[in-house]
Amino acid sequence: MPVKFLPYNQPEVGEDEVRAVSEAILSRWITRGALTAEFERALAARLGVPEVVALSSCTAGLHLSLLASGIGPGDEVITTPLTFAASVNSIIHAGATPVLVDIEPDTGNLSASAVEQAITPRTRAAMVVHYGGHAADMAAFNDLRDRRGLTILEDAAHALASRIGDRWVGTDGNLTAFSFYATKNLTTGEGGALVVPDSAQADKIRVLSLHGMSRNAWNRYQSGGSWRYDVEMPGFKYNMTDVDAAMGLVQLDKLDAMQEQRTRLAARYRQRLLGLPVIRPVERPGYGHSWHLYSVRLDVSVTGDIRDQVIEDLSRAGIGTSVHFIPISHHTYYRRRFGWKPGDFPAADAFYAAQISLPLYPSMTMEDVDRVADALAHSLQRRG
């Protein structure tokens, strides 16, 4: 009998999302409108922030956060090599120069001390990526913001439900971008949002997100609307749609329950992986993990360099996995343009070489976790 495949990730969507999306479509208003505005208000209320702008992706949010901060040609933005391409690409698209510094070896997050050492007269900002769901050391980064005049931008694609103390990620007064991609803790299929500290900046970002127009279609085509509009700046097509927002509102209602299940699954993993030559995700005191990833690393001092073979063994056992991330300095484009190369960031390279993301999502069962743990143990024993 063929073994049943356990996918690496699966969105938690069902009849409630189908119903909400169907109602949005049947309303005949399917682009940005009342539902998108409702989703923005609901997310802002959950986080306890003044403004949220719903967008087509987290990448859009990162790009607009740079532009809204006045960052462009001649400026440097420091960020991490252990991230997805979108973080660095948004800096390039803003016309600025990305500068990479190394990570904290335990969390995988950007090192605040390494950022401070890399500041030059051209440095305008640091883009802080919250890796896997464990928040970065925002006290240290906010100190750099206040002490060195550095703009702090947060890439919170993994961190919608992450906490520092009793505060959600995104509530430190920095522009903070979230992702609602299909694999994320809350999904709208594609989509994202940007937390904005004040209304004036939020209004500018909304204009930038829709071609730079002074009025969107909802303002122009509804009863009492005016066809007149002005283009105030060269903007982009980055808006969320009401179809996306309809799903997002349902997902937001389910988020606490989905997070509770993620936390239970992570606890099961932690228990079942005890005793294996595997470094489990760190949980620093005072931090609340969102468990977007269950990111383990092989203890290479015991196992040797067998990460790729272990992934192949898990695949043959019908278990999907991923790797987060191939460092930016390993990719052809960035190596050619900026001269980075493997070995430039030793902590990030070591983290990557040993890292495996195991399946973790709300529809998994404890038996699924046991199956993954057993397969991982079998592979390590076989390869040992």
Integer CA distances (angstroms), 334 to 81, 89, 120, 193, in order: 11, 10, 21, 27
Picking from 15, 4, 71, the residue whose alpha carbon sits closest to that of residue 247 is 15
| Strands (E) located in the chain | 51-55, 76-79, 97-100, 123-129, 151-155, 163-164, 167-168, 175-179, 192-196, 278-279, 287-288, 294-298, 355-358
Burial of 42 (0-12, 13-18, 19+ CB in 10 A): middle
The catalytically annotated residue of 4, 184, 204, 341 is: 184
Contact 50, 44 (CB under 8 A): yes
Report the C-alpha gap between 270 and 92 in whole angstroms.
39
Backbone angles phi, psi at 188, to 5 degrees: -115, 15
Q: Which two tokens stand for residue 141?
A: 């980064």
The SS3 of residue 5 is coil
60: left (phi over 0), alpha (psi -120 to 50) or beta: alpha
Contact 239, 212 (CB under 8 A): no
Contact 251, 14 (CB under 8 A): no
Q: Which two tokens stand for residue 30?
A: 């399917």
* Angle between helical axes of 242-272 and 34-47 (0-180°, round to 10): 40
Query: Would you call 184 a catalytic residue per the annotation?
Result: yes
| Residues carrying an active site annotation | 184
